[in-house]
Amino acid sequence: MPLYRSIPLALLAIWGIAIAPALAAGEPPLTVEQLVEIAVEVNPQVRAAKEQWDAAQHQILQSYAPADPVFTYGNLDSSKHFNAGAHTHNITESFQFPGEAFLQADEARRTAEIARLTYEASVRDLRAAVETAYYQVLLDQGLIAVNGENIVNLKQVVHVTQIQYTANQATQADLISAEFALAQARLQQRQYQTNRSNDRVGLNQLLYRRPASPLNLDQKIVLRPLEIGLDKAVDTAIHARQEILEAALAEKNSTTALKLAEMEYLPNYTVGTEFDYFLQPGTQPVPSVTQAYSFTFGFNLPVFFWIHQREDVRSAQHSLQAARYGVSSVLSQTEAIVTQLYQSAQFAYESAQQYRGSLIPLADKDFKVALVAYQTGKVDFLTLSTALQSGYAARITYLQNANQFLADEVALEQAIGTPLPR
């Protein structure tokens, strides 16, 4: 991976470089918060998750409803001329053992809550993707500006080297090396411009817009330290991260599923009523009776419990234990991820501050001194080239650390499940 691709964020926070936007005329600049709002509103994946949540909510009430009754009509003992001996009308209704419907409704309610958390997680992940893409687009433009400054410095080095070479105070190799570095920097500039175009396409895709749609972006990026302690971050994640809450609800559903499996030993009921209308002599149970009513009541017998109900209970017990292990696993992973990201972000912020406060100014001073010294013949071209590259490398290292901080900050919000205090 090219070096610049590993530093997708904080250039503007370093030197406050003014970036020339390629924007639609008259369109107000969009902040990262506004971009997130637009993406949440139109992104198909988020909207699909919302529909899944709505669908799950409509499955709660139906858990209370019994099975549909069964109506049966009989035309009995018909002759070849379809003269029926009797007509029967039967209605049968099945009922679960009392209490099962309430447990099933609780299970459906938690399933709907899991769907809601899944929707929130999709919004959270989309927010992180939009923020990362937003910062990447701004970084691309910033890298173009910084590399443009480097090209200006290289032109100055080429000019000085030409003068020294003309005066027989520098070798042709020095001039060739300077021109090579300048050509390489110009090629790099084209690469940065291509990356900017591609990253704009990526941001437009998250916003569900056409690839070439113009973007008017707010260009202010502020590098601030974390305003939350590690213990507080971990505690917040435990109570807010969607995956933890989903695992906890899944454990409760597994507990309910075990209760429902145990209730399979209890009988379910069937109630029926039948009306018989006797049309032909001889079909009546009693000669003077032409109509009759019947009622039926039945229940299932778990005679095969050792291969059915018992196995359902054991399966539900293992599923419950698996759900409990799942909760413990997610908790452990969350604590580790949040701790790692927090510590990495803290170190990256401190390193970035050191580069910005002391190392970059020293590198700039070193280059200026080396340039003057080269013109007076006090240092050779290698020293001058090293000083220039050291300054550029210092800026790149600063960008790496600044990017690491901001990238970890975005990932930390994603791991916690809620935005950090700003």
192-240 per-position pLDDT tens digit: 899 999 999 999 999 888 888 888 888 777 788 888 999 999 999 999 9
Assigned token pair, 72: 């049966």
Beta strands in 29-146 (DSSP E): 70-76, 86-95
- Spatial contact of 7 and 399, defined as CB atoms under 8 Å apart: yes
- How high is the mean pLDDT of the chain? 85
Tokens (6 digits) for 130: 């939009």
Bridge partners of residue 87, in order along the sequence: 75, 277
Tokens of 254: 């597994």
HSE of 52, CA atoms in CB hemisphere, 13 A: 16
- The confidence band for 347, taking pLDDT boundaries of 50, 70 and 90, is very high
Residue 217: helix, strand or coil by DSSP?
Answer: strand
Of 86, 127, 56, the C-alpha closest to 420 is 127
8 Å CB contact between 130 and 203: yes
pLDDT tens per residue, range 253-275: 999 989 888 888 888 889 999 88
User: What confidence tens digit (pLDDT) does each residue in 154-177 have?
Assistant: 898 898 888 888 888 888 888 888
Q: How would you classify the pairing of strands 70-76 and 269-278?
A: unpaired
Sign of CA dihedral 58, 61, 67, 70: negative
Instruction: Write out pLDDT tens, residues 360-378.
Output: 899 989 988 998 898 888 8
Q: Which helix (H) or strand (E) holds 318?
A: helix 309-354
CA 82 to chain centre: 68
**H helices present in 207-229, as ranges:** none
Report the 3 state secondary structure along 19-39. Answer: CCCCCCCCCCCECHHHHHHHH
The DSSP 8-state label assigned to residue 410 in this structure reads H
Percent of the chain clearing pLDDT 70 (strictly above): 91
3-state percent breakdown (helix, strand, coil) of the chain, nearest 5: 65, 10, 25
- DSSP code of residue 29: P
Using CA atoms, how far residue 12 sits from 17, 103, 225, 405, 410, in Å, is 6, 56, 16, 14, 17
φ, ψ (nearest 5 deg) of residue 273: -135, 150
Sign of the alpha-carbon torsion through 347, 349, 350, 351: positive
Average pLDDT over residues 321-342: 94
Give residue 143's pLDDT band: very low, low, confident or very high (50, 70, 90). Answer: confident
In the DSSP assignment, the letter for residue 158 is H
User: Which residue's structure tokens are 């893409």?
Assistant: 133
Whole-model pTM: value is 0.78
Q: Tokens at residue 324, please?
A: 């409990």
At residue 113, the pLDDT reads: 94
For residue 337, give both structure tokens: 């991820």
The helix or strand, by DSSP H or E, that contains position 292, with its residue range, turns out to be strand 291-299
pLDDT at 26: 57
| Sheet containing strand 291-299, strands side by side | 70-76, 86-95, 269-278, 291-299
pLDDT at position 344 over 80: yes
User: How far is it, in rounded angstroms, from Cα 405 to Cα 407?
Assistant: 6
Could you tell me which residues come within 8 angstroms of residue 376 by beta carbon, excluding any fewer than 6 positions away? none
- Structure tokens that stand for 311 in this block: 């196995």
Contact between 53 and 115 (Cβ < 8 Å): yes
Please state, in angstroms and rounded to a whole number, the distance separating the CA atoms of residues 279 and 204.
77
Pairwise CA distance, residues 312 & 305, whole Å: 9
At residue 7, does pLDDT exceed 80?
no
| Coil, helix or strand at residue 168 | coil
Residue 23 pLDDT class (50, 70, 90 cuts) = very low
